[in-house]
Amino acid sequence: MNYGERLLKRLCDLLGAMVLIIILSPVFLIIVVLQKILNPGPALYSQERIGRGGKPFKIYKFRTMVVDAEKDGIPQLEADNDTRLTDFGRMLRRHHVDELPQLWNVLKGDMSFVGYRPERQYFINQIMEHNPNYGLLFCSRPGVTSLATIENGYTDTMEKMLRRLDMDLEYFQTRTLWMDLKIILRTVFSL
């Protein structure tokens, strides 16, 4: 993308995030109330991820796991039938509704609608042992969605992480506004 396309992408991100936050605010409220009723603890969850320029930022999600799911301090990937997931959280994840608070990250400029999925430093270090090209992704904003997210799903293994990286690097080299629009539409239809 040239400078003008990147600027247009950012403007679309800003406008889209503002409009969606307003439109979806009743949904946010319903989820927060249901979270409070069904699962003790905070409705929202933040976690440090690494974004543009290799800088850390806080990503926001609706909480889907029990409080202190990683109380031992060691980051863990979600496993099949993960007992840390709440019933309501499992439903939120299945439909990717847990990602909606990332509209705030898009509005703030931490993320874009489309881009590589940001990861935690712990997992980036492991990925880079296999493929040091991960660092190339830091030239752009991470995204709420990506082609890799649609086609690869949640990354619960190193093999999936490396496949996602290959797809993200390919996107980064060939991205266009038209491609972003197609990815957004595919994401909407996959939900």
Q: Are 112 and 57 a contacting pair, CB within 8 Å?
A: no
Kindly give the interhelix angle for 158-174 and 121-130, rounded to the nearest 10 degrees: 80
Please write the tens of the pLDDT for every residue from 123-179: 999 999 999 999 999 999 999 999 998 988 778 788 999 999 999 999 999 999 999
Backbone angles phi, psi at 59, to 5 degrees: -95, 145
Q: Which percentage of the chain shows pLDDT scores above 90?
A: 73
- Measured CA to CA, the distance from residue 144 to residue 147 in angstroms comes to 11
Q: Is 132 exposed, middle or buried (0-12, 13-18, 19+ CB in 10 A)?
A: exposed
At residue 21 the predicted structure's pLDDT band, cuts being 50, 70 and 90, is very high
Give the pLDDT score at 186: 93
Give me the helix-helix angle, 177-190 and 3-38, nearest 10°.
20
d(CA 157, CA 36): 32
Q: What was the pLDDT predicted at 96?
A: 87
Q: What is the pLDDT of residue 136?
A: 95
At 71-94, the pLDDT tens digits run 777 777 776 677 888 899 999 988
